Structure 1
Amino acid sequence: MGELLGQMIEVDVTNIAHGGVSVARHDGRVVFVSDAIPGERVLARITDDKKKSFWRAETVKVVTPSEHRQEHVWSAASVDRDPDNRAGGAEFGHIELSHQRELKTQILSESLERMAKVTLAPVVEAVPGDDERKGLGWRTRVSLHVDEHGNVGPFAARSHRVIPVADLPLATPELSAGAPLDQNFTGFDRVDVLNPSTGGVRLIIGKQKPQVITETVGEREFTLLDSGFWQVHHGAAQVLTSAVQDAIDPELFDPAASNLDLYGGVGLFAAAVGDKFGPATKITSVEAESAATDHAAQNLSEWLGAHAETGRVDHWLRQHLKEATATERARLDKATIILDPPRSGAGREVVDLVSRAHPAQVVYVACDPVAFARDVAFFAERGYELSSVRAFDLFPHTHHVEAVGTFTRK
């Protein structure tokens, strides 16, 4: 293995795969090709031949372009550049925007069908205003890395090589204007640039002490640390708030039940539930990061029945179920549970614990279609079926897609 690295092959691209790459075949072998579109013929350079079952390759030249190919929205990531010098983070930028969403719909639908035998096919919805902006100007958070000479930039696609760039077209105009792309940061590894809802653009350089920032969703304010998690798209928090509210079946919702917001962060979705069902709604937000829990407690303080607890979700659930009285079990039986796990998904153990709580419904916010589909299958094994699902294009010009699904007991 390794003797084929750098070799050029000409291939016909037939399908899209999860992870922002397309699928081709060469002498019967599967080849995952970056910067290509299904339907194209491309000249590609082999970058990984370690696996017997497949290779990886990067498009060097488009021989027969797709009708959906466009000039890349970011010149720093264009196919005109050598693959080693292409900026990462905009791997779908060469694809017309509406076709990007068709491909994401296909990936989510195929994942659900293959892994969970579910035939729901949610159409990926655009965030309002994104089409008018051509899918640009949405990122409120950008991580820039620093090379050995102090230059800043994104990593190259699929590597840790820093690529100096002149612009950040996916970032909000304010963030773009404030990003220190031409400054030297020798001695540091990374510079994070933030454009919160309030307070203007800010930089996080090295290990500086985190500061409190405020994000707004509609007329509601949320405090958090600038080093903490918040949705990257400037419209995502509002879109997901509405989607979670709509995903809850009001016929199954009991405000007096032991409702849970797991992986609750700073309380965004617990607040969404409280806003929809009233200030007496009982809901507990569970989050492993103690600083986030502190802010969740503050952000949820107006809801009498809301509170926040610090704990790893699996540990907290296991202990909670172990200590639950008959009354608490009855309240869990009527509960609505919100799940917003990291990209790796909830996983078998957490799905098992949630199912043992026997809630009336589960609303799952997913940022990875394959992890979500795997967990859909786990829930099905435990008597919960995916009754509805929506998908949202919260990351235009990348392969990422968000889904919000509702599970109910069979």
Structure 2
Amino acid sequence: MRETGRMGTLEGQDVELDVTSIAHGGISVARLDGRVVFVTDAIPGEKVVARITDDRKKSFWRADTVSVLEASRYRQEHVWVAASIDRDPAVRAGGAEFGHIALAHQRTLKEQVLRDALERMAHITPEVTVEALPGDDEVSGTGWRTRIRLHVDDSGRPGPFAARSHTVVAVDDLPLATAAVEEVAPLDQRFPGEETIDVLSPSEGGARLIIGKQARTVVTEKVGDREFRLDDAGFWQVHHGAAATLTAAVQDLIDPERFDPRAANLDLYGGVGLLAAAVGDRFGQATRITSVESDSRATDHAAENLQEWIGASAVTGRVERWIRELTSSATATERARLAGATIVLDPPRSGAGKEVVEAIAGLDPAQVVYVACDPVALARDVALFADLGYGLEALRAFDLFPNTHHLETVVRLSR
């Protein structure tokens, strides 16, 4: 086999690959003449024909599966025709990269990715089970997205991006979306001059469109009997059952023996107050908790959503700066209240990072409950916490994004 730099490039050529394992990001791993190849739309154990898309790096190449020579027993007909390998990779819809894999095996692969990340980065091997949400198995992991973003091409037609590109793909259906979202999605309409169309179906008020940068409106989401108000374009969990699942998981993972309702409990990256409310509902109206969020509109909504708790407050600030200022200015009394605190955090995909982890550990809280949407970022931060004396005590993982590689993990850390 020719190698880049000696006999020219292989980019654009088809090669046979034996797929050996799964990697973070929804891609599988193969080798070609000893070089690692990250290949899409494959399953470990398969032999595939893949097209080399990038051979510029010495350490690894990238490729897209174009046909399967020896299929895994876990391969199924893709849940979304627009994303199947029957289409050219350049116009293969993104956002359902595990749709060709049986749902139970998708979870097995996600467990492997999470376990491998924790072993490699945090040097621990916890028991990992990715839990399904009720009803998902019965519909093959479809019909769960209450929010979806469509992009608009030069002709004005909306659609998803192709996988790993900014090419807009024309599609006729959106099988991962709820029925309400799919019904109003304007896939056959034209929006010249616009860039995005957001389609959402909140708990109340019916499905709606947000065209471009139109004026925002306020919507209501329900979690059990509790209502949360937020901007229609604001952040909310996408799976129709995710908010309730994470509420219950955070409540479950907080150790009640370590929880002090009078301590200076914190909800970092708090959004509109979902997890702060979870803590308040678990431990009563006297619970003190401060929710910190950089989006001022979300903070305004959090203040309203948390108003029934006397000790609850919502502040606007970048968590990195806010917690740094807290650690430098806290009085002895405030530090004593922080030392007994429970800190909940739900950072963005990039994770909390070294500065925030060090600041949290420096406050000496009783326990930390960390909600993560990226297993590698979580593993890195768990390792940082461990170096500062906070070990992983409990873990739960959830398949909040069926037919994609994403998962959500909730862990408890304590000294």
**Structure-2-length-normalised TM-score:** 0.98
Larger displacement relative to structure 2 (316-325 or 376-385): 316-325
SS at match of 1:22: strand
Say if 2:385 is the partner of 1:379.
yes
User: What is the identity, as a one-letter code, of the residue corresponding to 1:241?
Assistant: T
Match for residue 176 of structure 1?
A: 182
Q: 2:129 matched to which residue of 1?
A: 123
In the other structure, the counterpart of 1:201 is 207
Inter-partner Cα distance in structure 2 for 1:82 and 1:169? 20
- Is 2:212 aligned against 1:189? no
Give the corresponding residue for 2:250. Answer: 244
User: Quick check: 1:48 aligned with 2:54?
Assistant: yes
Q: Aligned to 1:227, which of 228, 233, 240?
A: 233
Structure 2 match to 1:106: 112
Matched, 1:360 2:366: yes
Task: Specify the SS of the correspondent of 1:363.
Answer: strand
| Runs of at least 5 residues in structure 1 that lack an aligned partner in the other structure | none
Aligned to 1:324: 330
1:67, CA displacement in angstroms? 0.1
In the alignment, the residues of structure 1 paired with residue 208 and residue 46 of structure 2 have an alpha-carbon distance, to the nearest angstrom, of 42
Structure 1 position 379, deviation (Å): 0.3
Give the conservation status (yes or no) of the 8 Å contact 1:7–1:45. yes
Task: Report the alpha carbon displacement of residue 141 of structure 1 after superposing the two structures with TM.
Answer: 0.5
Question: What is the identity percentage for the equivalent residue pairs of Structure 1 and Structure 2?
Answer: 68
Structure 1 residue 319 displacement after superposition = 1.0
Amino acid at match of 2:200: L
CA distance in 1, matches of 2:116, 2:20: 15
Aligned residues: 409
Aligned to 1:296: 302
* Structure 1 range deviating more: 144-153 or 317-326: 317-326
Partner of 1:154: 160
Q: Distance in 1 between matches of 2:142 and 2:42?
A: 21
Aligned residue number for residue 308 of structure 1: 314
Q: What residue is the counterpart of 2:78 in the other structure?
A: 72
Separation in 1 of the partners of 2:127 and 2:257? 25
Q: Which sits farther off after the overlay, 210-219 or 321-330?
A: 321-330
**What is the distance in 2 between the residues matched to 1:139 and 1:9?**
36
- Name which of 379, 388, 399 aligns with 1:393: 399
Shift of 1:165: 0.3
Aligned match for 1:266, one of 269, 272, 276: 272
Runs of 4+ in 1 over 4 A off after TM superposition: none
Q: Is the 8 A contact 1:281 1:303 kept in 2?
A: yes
User: SS state of the match for residue 381, structure 2?
Assistant: helix
Between the aligned partners of 1:49 and 1:261, the Cα distance in structure 2 is 44
Distance 1:118 1:308 in 2: 35
- How far apart, in 2, do the equivalents of 1:357 and 1:312 lie? 17
Q: Deviations over 1:132-172 (max 9, x none)?
A: 12111000010000000111100000000000100000000
Q: Kindly state the Cα deviation for residue 3 of structure 1 after the two structures are TM-superposed.
A: 2.2
The match for 1:140 is: 146
The one-letter code matched in structure 2 to 1:372 is: L
Q: List runs of 5+ in structure 2 lacking aligned partners.
A: none
CA RMSD of aligned residues (A): 0.7
Q: 1:200 Cα deviation (Å)?
A: 0.6
Q: Give the partner amino acid of 2:73.
A: E
2:45 to 11, 33, 39: 39
Which of the numbers 86, 90, 95 marks the counterpart of 1:84? Answer: 90
Give the corresponding residue for 1:257.
Answer: 263
Matched to 1:135, the amino acid is: G
Shift in Å at residue 121 of structure 1? 2.6
Alpha-carbon distance in structure 1 between the residues aligned to 2:128 and 2:260: 28
Distance 2:340 2:14 in 1: 59
Give the secondary-structure state (helix, strand or coil) at the position aligned to 1:24.
Answer: strand
TM-score w.r.t. the length of structure 1 is: 0.99
Distance 1:171 1:370 in 2: 27
Kept after mapping to 2: 8 A contact 1:105/1:121:
no
Q: Equivalents in 1 of 2:91, 2:320: separation in Å?
A: 42
